[in-house]
Amino acid sequence: MEYNPVTLVLLLAWILCGIRVLDKVNTSPARWRRKKEDDGKHGAEWLILFFGPVFLLYTAGRDFWEVRLRGAFEKARRHVKYAGITILDARGSPLYGDDCDNPAIDAFKDIFLDAANKQASDIFFDPAPDGGVALRFRIDGTLIQQGILAAGLGENVISAVKVAAGMNFSEKRRPQDGAFSARISGNPVSFRVASVGAVGGEKLSIRLLGAGSAPRTLDQIGFDDGQLQLLKRSISLSSGMILMCGATGSGKTTTLYALIENIDFSLKNVISIEDPVERVIPNMSQMEVNTAAGITFASLLRNALRQNPDVICLGEIRDEETAQIAVHAAQTGHLIISTIHANDAVDTFDRLTGLGVPLRSLAATIRIVVNQRMARRLCGKCRRPLTEIPKRWSRFFAENDIAPAGLFQAVGCPECNGTGYRGRVACFEMLIIDSELREELEQDDVSLSKIRQSALARGTSGSLLLHGARLAAQGITSLDEIDRITVSLDGGEA
């Protein structure tokens, strides 16, 4: 019988590998030694001796998979998952790339992708009782709980957000403000961040600007035909003020941008002063407030008047100096378009007089006040017809000649997260300052109640309640939503 040296070497190597594995098994896992003492059989050892090299190959392959292939797979998976999001820090430099293997960074990106996909307007991180961090989104104006982040992970995610926003992540007690931006699925999104110390930890609020929403034209905002024509004509005015009022998150800025884009930039010099600039509009000079550097609305407005503008857009009138300069500019041949925080159109006069502007000056400069609210849209998947109409609504529909045949009510389904609503629609009232109302404003005994009664009696533009009822009658929203956005403590309309 002839012996092949190669075969002999391979056989010896095989046996040595089996002995090596047998030695590991006899010295490491206790269960093999117990099995040997219990049954006294050595069959298992012979199997290990024979199949030891196979075991070694398996072990080596497993180690290679875990160390090399799995790492490469995870890197490729992370790249594909987060390819649609690019985080930019406060200076606009890329941050947190695909190769950043950190659970907190991955959670950071997951949260912002989820918020953008759900078209959330705000993200809130709140201290939870167990030491974790509660995560909530504001969707369609309603807060929705998203879950609880574990204590360590939640703190690290908050730190990652603060680093991106240019804030001091080690300071957890004093209030801080910051901002950063991102591109999510090709859409530019800006984030405004505010932090403050709270009982049990730190609270972080993030406002998403521009997420999941394409620019809207004035025709797409939701005005009635009469309101739309009035606004389009108002843009051609050579002087005066057009004001939009409403609560935070009521869509004033969206309407403001839509109104501005109806201006003919080839004929008019348009300047905007914003805090911050939420959308870049070509052919318009846009200035941004920077309070930390002493650049305020008032200082920018004062300097803008030296640029010979035809139209000045103010992001908001929020202080006495800005209000007085804006009214003066409107009296000297400039058209001022701005937003202001007020409960309704008539309350705008009270707000501005509280900022030191005489009522006679307001009567001479204000042309239109638009009061805006956002009502939730009924989910098209689960809405169902309203079978019983409340008596007061039946009377209202009859008095205003509205056919209530298209009324629906909210139900709730997985498509709308059980809320019965998906998306929002704007609801408006417009106060037109005509010659009669201007004359009443100039009277010595004028009051807000008299102004409100006079405006409603003439019906110059329709009320929130009327516009909302028409939206409900078209099946766009529900009567419950209209009640919610128009309710007031005196039982009337807001």
**218-486 shares the fold of 85-209:** no
The answer to whether the Cα torsion of 484, 485, 487, 493 is positive or negative is negative
| Count of Cβ atoms closer than 10 Å to residue 61 Cβ | 11
Query: What is the pLDDT at residue 27?
Result: 44
More confident residue, 55 or 248: 248
Q: For the sheet with 270-274, list strands across it.
A: 285-288, 270-274, 311-314, 335-340, 240-245, 366-378, 421-432
- Is residue 310 a contact partner of residue 269, using CB atoms and an 8 Å limit? yes
Handedness of CA 452, 453, 459, 462 (dihedral sign): positive
pLDDT digits (tens, 9 = 90+) for 113-131: 888 888 888 999 999 888 8
| 425 contacts 374 by C-beta, under 8 angstroms | yes
Query: What is this structure's pTM?
Result: 0.74
Helices 464-473, 479-486: inter-axial angle, 10-degree rounding: 170
Element (H, E) at 146: strand 142-149
The two structure tokens encoding residue 338: 């701005």
How far apart, in whole angstroms, are the C-alpha atoms of residue 59 and residue 67?
Answer: 12
Query: Please, are residues 461 and 227 in contact by the beta-carbon 8 Å criterion?
Result: yes
pLDDT higher than threshold 70 for residue 66: no
Q: What is the DSSP letter of 415?
A: G
CA distances (Å), origin 123, targets 113, 208, 444, 480: 12, 8, 48, 26
Concatenating the DSSP letter of every residue in 31-47 gives: HHHHHHHHH---HHHHH
Q: What digits encode the pLDDT tens for the residues 193-240?
A: 999 998 888 999 999 876 545 567 788 888 888 888 888 899 889 999
Q: How many percent of the chain have pLDDT more than 70?
A: 78
> Are the beta carbons of 136 and 124 closer than 8 angstroms?
yes
Helix axes 5-27 and 43-64, enclosed angle (nearest 10): 90
Domain boundaries, the chain: 85-209, 218-486
Q: What is the chain's alpha carbon radius of gyration, rounded to the nearest angstrom? A: 33
Q: Does domain 85-209 have CATH number 3.30.450.90?
A: yes
CATH entry 3.40.50.300 includes domain 218-486: yes
Residue 263, both tokens = 């201006």
At 57, the pLDDT band (50, 70, 90 cuts) reads low
Structural contact between residues 183 and 94, judged by C-beta atoms closer than 8 angstroms: no
The pLDDT of 68-91, averaged and rounded, is 67
Would you state the structure tokens that stand for residue 459, as one six-digit string?
A: 């019906």
Q: Mean pLDDT over residues 145-171, rounded?
A: 90
Which of 130, 87, 89 is closest to 111 using CA atoms? 87
d(CA 442, CA 444): 7
